[in-house]
Amino acid sequence: MSLKGTLNSIGRALRTPKGAISGAWLALVVLGAIFAPVLTPYDYDIQDLPNAFAAPSFAHWLGTDEFGRDLLTRVLYGARTSLSVSVLSISVSVFTGMVLGAAAGYFGGAFDRAVTIFVDLTWSFPEILIALILVAIIGPGITGTMVAIAVAYLAQFTRLTRAQIMAIRSETYIEAAKSLGARDSFILLRHLLPNSLAPVLVAGMLATGDAIILEATLGFFGLGAQPPTPSWGSMMSSGSALLFKAPWIIVFPGLAVAITVVAINLFGDALIRALDIKTRLREA
Position 199 pLDDT exceeds 90: no
Q: Exposed (0-12), middle (13-18) or buried (19+): which is 8, by Cβ within 10 Å?
A: middle
Task: State the pLDDT confidence band at 250, using cuts at 50, 70 and 90.
Answer: very high
**Number of domains observed in the structure of the chain:** 1
Q: What is the mean pLDDT of residues 21-27?
A: 94
Nearest-angstrom CA–CA distance, 91 and 154: 10
Per-residue model confidence (pLDDT) at position 283: 44
Answer whether 82's CB lies under 8 Å from 233's CB.
yes
* Residue 16 clears pLDDT 90, i.e. is over it: no
pLDDT at 195: 79
Q: For position 198, which CATH number holds?
A: 1.10.3720.10
Which carries the bigger pLDDT value, residue 179 or residue 130? 130
Find the mean pLDDT for residues 239-251.
91
pLDDT of residue 281: 45
Identify which of 40, 111, 108 has the alpha carbon closest to the alpha carbon of residue 70: 40
Question: Can you give the pLDDT at residue 4?
Answer: 62
Q: Give pLDDT, residue 228.
A: 86
Mean local confidence (pLDDT), 232-249: 91
Q: Whole domain around residue 66: which residue ranges?
A: 3-283
pLDDT top residue among 175 and 252: 252
Q: Residue 5's pLDDT band (boundaries 50, 70, 90)? A: low
> What global pTM score does this model have?
0.88
Tell me the average pLDDT of the chain: 88
Q: In whole angstroms, give the CA distance from residue 199 to residue 220.
A: 32
Residues 6+ apart with CB under 8 A from 14: 20, 23, 270
The type of residue at 176 is A
pLDDT digits (tens, 9 = 90+) for 127-175: 888 899 999 899 899 999 999 999 999 999 999 999 988 888 777 777 7
Residue 277: its pLDDT value, please? 53
Say if residue 249's pLDDT is above 60. yes
Q: Which residue has the higher pLDDT, 60 or 199?
A: 60
| Tens of pLDDT, residues 84-100 | 999 999 999 999 999 99
The whole-number pLDDT of residue 121 equals 86
Query: What's the start-to-end Cα distance of the chain, in Å?
Result: 13
Calculate mean pLDDT across residues 201-222. Answer: 92
Give the best-scoring range by mean pLDDT among 12-21, 61-70, 179-188.
Answer: 61-70
Indicate if the pLDDT at residue 276 is higher than 80.
no
Q: What is the mean pLDDT of residues 19-31?
A: 94
**Has residue 54 got a pLDDT over 70?**
yes
Q: In terms of Cα–Cα distance, which of 178, 199, 22, 205 is closest to 106?
A: 178
